[in-house]
Structure 1
Amino acid sequence: MVELWNLLKQGNKSALLASIINAVISIAKGVAFTLTGNVAMFAETLHSIGDAANQFFVFIGSALSKKAPTPRFPNGFGRLVNLVLLAAVLVVGIMAYETIVEGYHHILHPQESTGFIISVGVLSFAIILEAFVLFKAMKETLHEVGIEAKGFGIITKSIANVNKAKAATKLVFLEDSVATGGGLLALAAIIISHYTPYHQVEGIASIIIGVLMFIVVGKTFLDNAAGVLGEADLTLRSVIGDIAFNDPGVRDVQEIAVLKEGDEYHVELIVEVDPSITVAEADDIKDRLEDRILRENGVTDVIVEFDEDDNLPKWEESKTTK
């Protein structure tokens, strides 16, 4: 239990916060739907339930992925977060399907909803909370990629760098972007339906919300399927290759691999050195490289191997070719 508690403390805080808030929101929306029968509210209720369950699983997965390697699993549990996210998107996919089906039925058989004030009040409350979670996810994104921003720059820079964030943070960012936008869409549909005879708009809004949910499902599935298979980070590979190449004791970089394991990066590289150097000098080079590479965000493991310089440039040529 002590080990589990320590792991949970390392779980993704954005996912936990989002899960709690979405659970509260889903209860409020569910009560509002029961009282009003509003189809757009039904879509938003399912959306929030899916998000709450999804983000809770993400929190658990991100925590368990921090478990130390064992003799049975010597490579650690980093990819566990990707497996959990693949399972979690199934929940969102089911909710998205139900949302679209309900919206379609409402378009065929439109009915005027009741409880206009209740629906508007609950949705306005939900939008404020979801926007708060989204803003926290934006700040967490910037923290993970090492970028500072203030004011409106938090929004623009987080959107530009969300693909560099950890898998759990990225999912919260995407889900709450859709949740906030979907809430605004549902609110607009309710207002239009109340003041005009065009009640089908609630069904249309429900279908659009469902489609947006499916987009999140597709994006999350593709990202985490790559993570489960073992995805190389070519951008970080280039950065680390330059670090090694610019070391005074390194003549060339022969091979380099940067593999993403969950939220962590494992680096293996072979560098070419002067064949006449001593073991002590080679050890100094190894220590310098490991120390410098481990300072890169997310890198937790570095393996450095040596080969004698063959006077054939490889690293610069590989960059030119690319």
Structure 2
Amino acid sequence: MKDIIALLKKGSMASLTASIVNFFIAGLKGVAFILTANVAMFAEMMHSIGDALNQLFVFIGSGLSKKAPTERFPFGFGRLVNLVLLFAVIIVGILAYETIREGLHHILEPLPVETDTTMLLINIGVLAIAAVLETFVLYKAGKELLQQADMPYDGLKPITTSFANMDRAKPATKLVFLEDAVATGGAIFAIIAILVARFTGFSQSEGIASVIIGLAMFYIVYKIFMENAAGALGEHDPRMEERVSQIVLRHDEIKDIRKLFVMKEGDNLHAEVVAEIDPDLTSREVNRIRDEIEKLILKQQHVTDVNMEFELNDGKRTWPKTQDDLDRKPKY
């Protein structure tokens, strides 16, 4: 039991925070449904419960993926997080389908506009609180995302620059960030739709907002599914491969790179390097070179394992393809 708790402490804190907040929001929406008997609010409550359970599942999966390799699984459990997220996006896909279906139903058969001011204020108040809480989670997820991308995360950057750096974040953090971006925007859209329906009589506005939210959720399904399907199969990281090649070739004793790839293993990166050296070097010098280069590679973001081997210089240039790659100085 202690081992499981220790692993869970390494899980995605963004997922855990989002799960707790969404359970609280689901409770608020449940109270609003009891008070107003609004069917749309009941759907919102079920949506929040689905998000909360989904994010809790992602938190558990991201923690268990840190389990050390065993005799049966010698390569570790890194890809477990990819499998968990593939399951998670199925849930998101189901919620997206139901959201769009409900929205189309409201467009084709709109419900009477709510005229009771008290009921209207309760619905808007709950959605406003949900928007504020989701914005808080979005900010936390964006901050964690930028930290993982090794980018500045002060001020409003977790909201304004996170989208441009999503590809460099861990899969679980990326999912939570996208889900809460849609949830925050969805709450705001819902408030606008309710006000439009109330003051213009255009009751289809709520259905239109629901369809837009559902389509945004399908975007999450597409993006997360494609990335994690590739991760589960075993995907290389070209950006990190370029950085590792720069580190290796900057060493004075390295003449060329015969082979190099960086494999994504869930949240972590595994580097394989075969470099060329002069035949005059002693075994002690070769071991020193290996230790120096591996130490620098392991300092790179998300790199947890390096396997470096050497071949004798064959006099032929294999890596890099252009001189510009050699001239770029790596950041470490």
> Which bin holds the TM-score, normalised by the shorter protein?
over 0.9
Letter in 1 for 2:271: V
Is contact 1:46-1:99 (8 Å) kept? no
Q: Secondary structure at the match of 1:248?
A: coil
Letter in 2 for 1:130: E
Per-residue deviation at 1:43? 4.9
Is contact 2:113-2:201 (8 Å) kept? no
Deviations 1:250-277 (A, max 9, x none): 1111110100000100001100000111
Per-residue deviation at 1:319? 7.3
Query: Which 10-residue stretch deviates more, 249-258 or 98-107?
Result: 98-107
Is contact 1:16-1:56 (8 Å) kept? yes
Q: Secondary structure at the match of 2:288?
A: helix
Q: Residue in 2 aligned with 1:41?
A: 41
Q: Residue in 2 aligned with 1:61?
A: 61
Is contact 1:32-1:118 (8 Å) kept? yes
1:188-199 matched pairs, under 5 angstroms: 188-199=192-203
Deviations 1:39-61 (A, max 9, x none): 65355334322221111111011
Change (3 A) 1:41 1:208: farther
How far apart, in 2, do the equivalents of 1:298 and 1:318 lie? 27
Per-residue deviation at 1:142? 1.3
Q: Find the partner of 2:299 among 290, 295, 298.
A: 295
Is contact 1:12-1:169 (8 Å) kept? yes
Per-residue deviation at 1:243? 0.4
Per-residue deviation at 1:23? 1.0
Is contact 1:41-1:186 (8 Å) kept? no
The list of structure 1 runs, each at least 4 consecutive aligned residues, that deviate by more than 4 angstroms after superposition, is 37-40, 318-321
Change (3 A) 1:157 1:209: closer
Q: Secondary structure at the match of 2:67?
A: coil
Is contact 1:39-1:202 (8 Å) kept? no
Deviations 1:19-74 (A, max 9, x none): 01011112212332344354653553343222211111110110000000000000
Is 1:276 aligned with 2:276? no
How far apart, in 1, do the equivalents of 2:93 and 2:158 lie? 30
The root-mean-square deviation of aligned C-alpha atoms, in Å, is: 1.7
1:168-207 matched pairs, under 5 angstroms: 168-207=172-211
Q: Residue in 2 aligned with 1:162?
A: 166
Q: Which runs of 5+ in 1 are unaligned?
A: none
Letter in 2 for 1:73: F
Q: Residue in 1 aligned with 2:135?
A: 131
How far apart, in 2, do the equivalents of 1:97 and 1:39 lie? 17
Q: Residue in 1 aligned with 2:257?
A: 253
Count matched residues.
Answer: 321
Please, what TM-score do these two structures have when normalized by structure 2? 0.92
Deviations 1:201-225 (A, max 9, x none): 1111111111111111111111110
Aligned-residue identity in percent: 52
Deviations 1:100-153 (A, max 9, x none): 111222222211254101101000000000000000011111111122242233
Per-residue deviation at 1:320? 7.0
Is contact 1:86-1:225 (8 Å) kept? yes
Is contact 1:44-1:186 (8 Å) kept? no
Q: Find the partner of 1:304 among 308, 325, 328.
A: 308
Q: Residue in 1 aligned with 2:2?
A: 2
How far apart, in 1, do the equivalents of 2:165 and 2:80 lie? 23
